[in-house]
Amino acid sequence: LLVVDSVQTISTDASGGAAGGVPQIRAVAAALIGVAKQRGIATVLVGHVTKDGAIAGPRVLEHLVDVVLHFEGDRHSSLRLVRATKNRHGPSDEVGCFEMREDGMAGLTDPSGLFLSDRTAAVAGTCVTIAVEGRRALATEIQALTNPVSYGASPRRAVSNLDSARVAMLLAVLVRHARLPMGEVEVYVATVGGILANEPACDLGITLALASAVRELPIPPTVCAIG
């Protein structure tokens, strides 16, 4: 096993330019790939990423390798996800779930418990839904908070690990069809554990969490909303 950390800092005399440039990355990656194929060595090239999570610098490295894996997670959560964004030899929608412990990383076969808050009584503004990560269906809790707007102020909308445009559309649905006063309150919506819930199947859970928050009516903990 060969692990190169990081490929952007390595240079070769076979190509010109500074380390991290397109010619250097192409030459270094080609040399490492040639050795890996010749000797049968599994090779991992670690690359720098930007604040947005994309691979830094030229994207030529993504085109040269067989598999691109992103290691991600919320800094305030013990959960870590390994997500495949490219795979020439298999599906690219697989996700590996790991938990950061005192003795290192541990694989999780069913990490759903990390996305649910630890509570015994029903609380207004929360609803459990199902989010799909790769081919895993994970029970995920949506948490919503509403607060009356100060006189003359514009209502604030803040979301975490959700699609802000989709939440805005769901708020419009609640105003138009459920006659809920969503335009008179600030809205804060997030998921538990830092999991992304951007698929349409989570819409019903988000909507019920918002309606529960603004009406202060708890949803039973045994309810799971999908749709």
Contact indicator for 35, 29 with CB cutoff of 8 Å: no
Contact indicator for 153, 114 with CB cutoff of 8 Å: no
pLDDT of residue 195: 80
**184-225: per-residue pLDDT in tens?**
899 999 998 778 888 899 999 999 999 999 999 999 988 999
Contact indicator for 86, 181 with CB cutoff of 8 Å: no
Antiparallel, parallel or unpaired: β 104-107 and 126-133: unpaired
User: Looking at the DSSP assignment, which residues form a beta bridge with residue 140?
Assistant: 129
pLDDT of residue 144: 96
24 CA to centre of own chain: 31
pLDDT of residue 58: 63
**Residue 100 identity:** M
Most confident of 16-20, 97-101, 159-163: 159-163
Q: What is the mean pLDDT of residues 111-136?
A: 82
Strand order in the sheet with 126-133: 126-133, 136-148, 185-191, 157-160
Q: What is the mean pLDDT of residues 11-15?
A: 84
pLDDT of residue 189: 96
**53-111: per-residue pLDDT in tens?**
666 666 788 888 999 988 877 777 788 888 888 899 888 877 888 888 899 989 988 77
Question: Can you give the pTM of this predicted structure?
Answer: 0.73
Contact indicator for 162, 191 with CB cutoff of 8 Å: yes
Residues with Cβ within 8 Å of 17's Cβ and at least 6 positions away in sequence, in order, are: 23, 24
